[in-house]
Amino acid sequence: MSILKNIQKRKTFAIISHPDAGKTTLTEKLLLYSGAIQIAGAVKSNKIKKTAASDFLEIEKQRGISVATSVLSFEYKNAIINLLDTPGHKDFAEDTYRTLTAVDSVILVIDCVKGVEEQTEKLMQVCRMRNTPVIVFINKLDREGKDPIALLDELENKLSINLRPLSWPLGMGTTFKGVYNIYKNSFAFFHSNKQQVEDEIRVFNSIDDPELFNTFGDGAIKLKNDIDLVDGIYEDFDINKYKAGLQAPVFFGSALNNFGVKELLDTFIEIAPSPIPRESTNGTIHLEENGFSGFVFKIHANLDPKHRDRIAFLRICSGKFERNKFYHHVRLKRQIKFPNPASFMGQSKSVIDDAYAGDVIGLYDSGSFKIGDTLTDGDAFMFKGIPSFSSEIFRELRNTDPFKTKQLEKGISQLTDEGLAQLFTQNYGNRKVIGVVGPLQFDVIKFRLLHEFGANCEFINYPSYKACWVKYENKDDIASLMSLWSNNLFYDKNKNLVYIAESQYSLDRAKEKNPKVQFLFSIEHNDLTLEMEEVA
């Protein structure tokens, strides 16, 4: 089979949701349908129910480097599906955001009782920045939830996406009868059952078929009215709009009861995009002509002292990867080969001989990778579209053991390369502020600095609102910022200027007084001059 044909078989995606909406349950059910696992209960939630760092560290130690749920690869109907896992805990949201740079589409799970939640909004913002195609799965229809029309209104308003329901529920909670597939005119009957994997489906001639009335009585009238309304409100489904991230098809179901999941998976296989060419600092990288290339989007370190290795997760963007072949590490300008590249199939990890664009492989790493690093057949380019997002919690790093200064420097440098936190420095590096998305990260950093690098530190509160990257045309534009706000100015690891605002008010003032400067909430890893999201 040609390289291109192999690539076109790949569908690489992530399931995203606010914690508890049903991401783990849906993942498991998708694996059950595909035959990748045989019994329910095989997929462990990566949620950390308690927020104590010790729990997290224990879990991480147990998971070790063999964390099999990072990527789940399975075959279904001749497609190779790569499902990338995203951390459930919001303190590790940055990891999730980065994972979204490695997928070609997402399934967004919404709890029909709760509707749009905090994490849903943040995750969708990231998807919109990248025009990622989205399929929406409204879950837990076996519960009394929000009225479907009102719920879809809420989704459209809060998430700024255009929706198109492909199915529609009849009843909800105790009166839930099932869902009608609007395009196939078929009805899937709901049975509360955690084991059954096939839906009971009956095909009708149209929504006006009298058989519907014979089956559901007045329910059929409500269903018809609802669907007429839906057809009136929402534009027809258009696969090109979906692929451009402009329209999101919607399904209803109950993952716990295996309901609506097969329909979701079958539609996913039909419409979800396979890998497409990606933009780089050298222009568009085509799937086949450019040979092999890929980038690192996640680095997973082993906390088990007996196995101190790290795995760099590489998303292949073009061509074919081969074991033991030399590839060009663009940032280090070095040739590297990988004797033990790993793939993840179901629950187990295995060494692979080759992999294609769309696949995610794990590369054993002894410290040569940073987030955003690119490997190629020889060309020197970096992939675009791998953003860093503004941290939200800041603490100043203090060395508590002056004899271990070098160890601390090395440790902080490595952990921030992994993307665990962001490092901002001032006064030629003498003052260090660490920024994270969630406070749990500080405990993880402290633990790892001590156990892996033998360095001791403490974190001093540094109450701030956001870190914004400062973009300007020429030096004069930042003259007043440099003199009046010098206390708030730092450099990130790549020597980009960063303004750490104490509050929204102080940010507004800085913006007002420095009209030629842009303050950005996110930045590209590989090129400061690329499109960046300006602070609202």
Cβ proximity to ligand G4P: between 257 and 343 the closer is 257
**Shortest spacing between CB 25 and ligand G4P, in angstroms:** 3
Phi, psi angle pair for 481, to nearest 5°? -60, -45
User: CB 110 → ligand G4P: shortest distance, Å?
Assistant: 10
CA distance linking residue 434 with residue 432, whole number of Å: 7
**Minimum distance between the CB of residue 212 and ligand G4P, rounded to whole angstroms?**
25
Q: Which is nearer to ligand G4P, 257 or 416 (CB)?
A: 257
Nearest to ligand G4P of 23, 525 (CB atom): 23
Considering Cα of 429, then 431, then 437, then 442, what sign does the dihedral take? positive
Q: Which residue, 168, 164, 208, is CA-closest to 187?
A: 168
Task: Give the separation between CA 150 and CA 104, rounded to whole angstroms.
Answer: 29
Q: How far is the CB of 144 from ligand G4P (least distance, A)?
A: 10
Residue nearer to ligand G4P on the CB measure, 18 or 466:
18
Beta strands in 151-309 (DSSP E): 162-165, 167-170, 178-181, 186-189, 200-203, 247-252, 278-280, 283-285, 293-301
Task: Identify which of residues 21 and 355 has a Cβ nearer to ligand G4P in the complex.
Answer: 21
Q: How far apart are CA 533 and CA 15, in angstroms?
A: 24
Least CB distance to ligand G4P at residue 19 (A): 4
Residue 80 identity: I
Q: Give CA–CA dist 414/367, Å, rounded.
A: 7
Residues forming the site for ligand G4P (CB under 6 A):
17, 19-25, 45, 47, 88, 139-140, 142-143, 254-257
Locate the DSSP E strands across 52-143: 71-76, 79-84, 105-111, 134-139
Q: How far apart are CA 369 and CA 332, in angstroms?
A: 9
Closest distance to ligand G4P from the beta carbon of 109 (Å): 6
How far is the C-alpha of 311 from the C-alpha of 304, rounded, in Å?
Answer: 13
**Exposure on the CB side of residue 62, measured as CA atoms within 13 A:** 8
State the number of CA atoms in the 13 A half-sphere of 378 facing the CB.
Answer: 3
CB of 29 to ligand G4P, least distance (A): 9
> 159 vs 386, which CB is nearer to ligand G4P?
159
Give the DSSP per-residue string, 483-521: HHSGGGEEE-TT--EEEEESSHHHHHHHHHH-TT-EEES
Cβ closest to ligand G4P, residue 21 vs residue 532: 21
Q: Which is nearer to ligand G4P, 37 or 80 (CB)?
A: 37
Shortest separation between residue 139's beta carbon and ligand G4P, angstroms: 5
In whole angstroms, the minimum distance from the beta carbon of 89 to ligand G4P comes to: 9
Nearer to ligand G4P, 142 or 418 (CB): 142
- Given a contact cutoff of 8 angstroms between Cβ atoms, the answer to whether 245 and 239 are in contact is no
Give the span between the Cα atoms of 98 and 393, in whole angstroms: 18
